[in-house]
Structure 1
Amino acid sequence: MARTESNMLPLGTTAPDFKLVDTVDDVTKSLQELKGTTATLVMFICNHCPFVIHVNAQLSQLAKDYVSKGINCIAISSNDVENYPQDHPDLMKKNAIDNDYIFPYLYDQTQDVAKAYDAACTPDFFLFNSDLILVYAGQLDDSRPGNGIPVTGKDIRAAMDALINNNPVNPNQKPSMGCNIKWK
């Protein structure tokens, strides 16, 4: 399992817009229609990465805990499905259902969205405020497969809570770590 750190898109960056197909309902959706009123968490994930599998339950719970607070989550898979067929959109839909995702799971077939976000790994997290300005680009928490640290989502939860409470988000952020995005 290759360990790749996120590239840490600079804070203050405006969220790159996109229109991608949601693999659950086969409807094309845009960032503008999916964004939250308080914040938007864009997550680059995939089906097969052990780092994502390790946090899937927390991703599902995170969305459930924060949607009522105006924070919407959006998951995107940008992996090359020709060489990694387990990340195919049909299997993305099954994965979303199996993991009880209440957020859209979008397919970035061209990989243009991942490039626009400078995404490097799965999972890779980008939290934008209500104006779609990046306020957090970092890890979910300190847990990794096999390190014995519980998955809590504490780092992202702290950033989300700061936004909800109109407090500044701590600028000291640790990069996410996971499998590299499978580029074509």
Structure 2
Amino acid sequence: MLLDTPICDFGWKAPEFTLKDAFGESFTMSEHLGEKGLLVMFICNHCPYVKRIGAILAEDTRHLMAQGINVLAVMSNDYLAVPADSPENMKQFAKEHGFTFPYLVDENQRVGQQYNAVCTPDFFGFNSAGELQYRGRLDDAKMADSNHRTPELFNAMRMIADTGKGPEEQFASMGCSIKWR
């Protein structure tokens, strides 16, 4: 089912979490909330929207991280119902797309619920105080055309890093619904 994300709730505080990646290493949100902010994104392996942006997402986040903006990806889908999203498949998906950010398993789906994640992909851009400043789409490219794009998420995260504030105009991300238990 195709869903759109809600409008950005500017100033909403990022809930704390600690999750493990597919290799069993733990990551805590507050330890990644750096001076330039944090991007938390909800993605999965099977969603055609995430598959389409995988390489672009890897490239954009590599540039953001090089500029001191931290990135965490969370997979909240019920992977028992959707085996393509299993931790083993997360390892393969991350390698295939060249992800350099932690890709975390939300085993009990609590983090997805706390963040009110709606779809994959769902992007949350926080400033250094942990205040939400961006909840929008990756870019303006259509499913079939990723060559002509405005990198809205990238630009928003750079703005947040520089000013602590996100853009006033944001466009909802859209994708596959989170697969809740």
Specify if TM > 0.5. yes
Structure 1 residue 182 displacement after superposition: 0.5
- What residue ranges of structure 1 are gaps of 5+ in the alignment? none
Q: Distance in 2 between matches of 1:151 and 1:108?
A: 33
Structure 1 residue 42 displacement after superposition: 0.4
Counterpart of 1:108, as a letter, is D
Counterpart of 1:154, as a letter, is P
Tell whether 2:38 aligns with 1:49.
Answer: no
Counterpart of 1:86, as a letter, is A
Does the aligned pair in 2 maintain the 1:40–1:130 contact within 8 Å?
Answer: yes
Give the match for residue 182 of structure 1: 179
Q: Distance in 1 between matches of 2:53 and 2:93?
A: 13
Does the aligned pair in 2 maintain the 1:36–1:71 contact within 8 Å?
Answer: yes
Give the match for residue 21 of structure 1: 20
The normalised TM-score by structure 1 is 0.92
Tell whether 2:161 aligns with 1:170.
Answer: no
Decide which of 95, 110, 113 is 1:112's aligned counterpart.
110
Structure 1 residue 150 displacement after superposition: 3.2
In the superposition, relative to structure 1, how do residues 151 and 47 fare at CA in structure 2: closer, same or farther (>3 Å)? farther
Structure 1 residue 163 displacement after superposition: 2.4
Q: Distance in 1 between matches of 2:115 and 2:122?
A: 10
Q: What RMSD, in angstroms, separates the aligned Cα atoms of the two structures?
A: 1.6
Give the match for residue 124 of structure 1: 122
Q: Distance in 1 between matches of 2:24 and 2:180?
A: 23
* Residues 101-128 of structure 1, C-alpha deviations (whole Å, 9 max, x = no match): 1100000011110111111000000000
Decide which of 152, 157, 171 is 1:155's aligned counterpart.
152
Query: Which secondary structure does the structure 1 equivalent of 2:126 belong to?
Result: strand
Does the aligned pair in 1 maintain the 2:8–2:133 contact within 8 Å?
Answer: no
Query: Which secondary structure does the structure 2 equivalent of 1:83 belong to?
Result: coil
Does the aligned pair in 1 maintain the 2:36–2:162 contact within 8 Å?
Answer: no
Count of aligned residue pairs for this structure pair:
181
Query: Which secondary structure does the structure 2 equivalent of 1:178 belong to?
Result: strand
Give the match for residue 10 of structure 2: 11
Structure 1 residue 9 displacement after superposition: 4.9
Does the aligned pair in 1 maintain the 2:127–2:165 contact within 8 Å?
Answer: no
* Residues 134-172 of structure 1, C-alpha deviations (whole Å, 9 max, x = no match): 0001111122423x3537461112212212332742222
Query: Which secondary structure does the structure 2 equivalent of 1:91 belong to?
Result: helix
The normalised TM-score by structure 2 is 0.93
* Residues 13-35 of structure 1, C-alpha deviations (whole Å, 9 max, x = no match): 01011011111x31121102223
Does the aligned pair in 2 maintain the 1:43–1:75 contact within 8 Å?
Answer: yes
Q: Tell me the percent identity.
A: 38
